[in-house]
Amino acid sequence: MGKDTGTKLVASNRKARHDYHVEDTYEAGLVLMGTEVKALRMGRASLVDGWAGFDRSDELWLEGVHIPEYVNGNWTNHTPRRKRKLLLHKRELEKIAQATRETGRTVVPLRLYFKDGRAKVEIAVVTGKKSYDKRHALRERQDRREADRAISAHRRRGEI
């Protein structure tokens, strides 16, 4: 039995890109229990309420991520919303710590996936969007979509 190759997406946090301005992204490993890995391989997880923070020993922990209990698990099953340690290089941790010291910045998970058989999470240093920024982004996307539709309609009619 060989190792899995490539990436398999388990969960993505689409709401994060709507609610925050993404500044920097990082790929981090996760310290997981066996039943968590099995639950993730079944494609079950939710990143919506997730965030990451430092503890006193300068380690980055992922919190609020929901990985449901493994269906076939027994007494060794995990708690769905426990803290999970993130594995990053020391330079990356220092860079993230420096960025989060500034007001208004936090770390949120964007995607949870398997890469070459190992569970990885893509985290991002973000700043919150104001409600008018969200409306502006939605309006731009809607205008772009309408323009693309108009161009494709003209192409179909042979006008362009």
Q: Where are the domains of the chain?
A: 7-128, 130-160
Pairing of strands 7-12, 118-128: unpaired
Average pLDDT along the chain: 84
Residue 16 is predicted with a pLDDT of: 83
**Segment 33-75, tens digit of pLDDT:** 778 888 888 877 888 888 888 888 888 898 888 888 777 766 6
Higher per-residue pLDDT: 78 or 56: 56
Of 35, 137, 150, the C-alpha closest to 160 is: 150
pLDDT band at 89 (very low <50, low <70, confident <90, very high): very high
- pTM for the full model? 0.73
Q: How far apart are the first and last CA of the chain?
A: 55
The CATH number, out of the four listed (1.10.10.10, 2.40.280.10, 3.40.50.850, 3.20.130.10), of the domain defined by the range 7-128:
2.40.280.10
3-state secondary structure of 138: helix
Measured CA distances, 130 to 20, 100, 104, 144 (Å): 9, 19, 12, 21
| 8 A C-beta contact, residue 26 and residue 100 | no
Separation of alpha carbons 94 and 18, rounded Å: 27
Residues in the chain: 160
Ramachandran region of residue 104, left (φ > 0), alpha (ψ -120 to 50) or beta? Answer: left
pLDDT single digits (tens) 113-129: 988 888 899 999 988 87
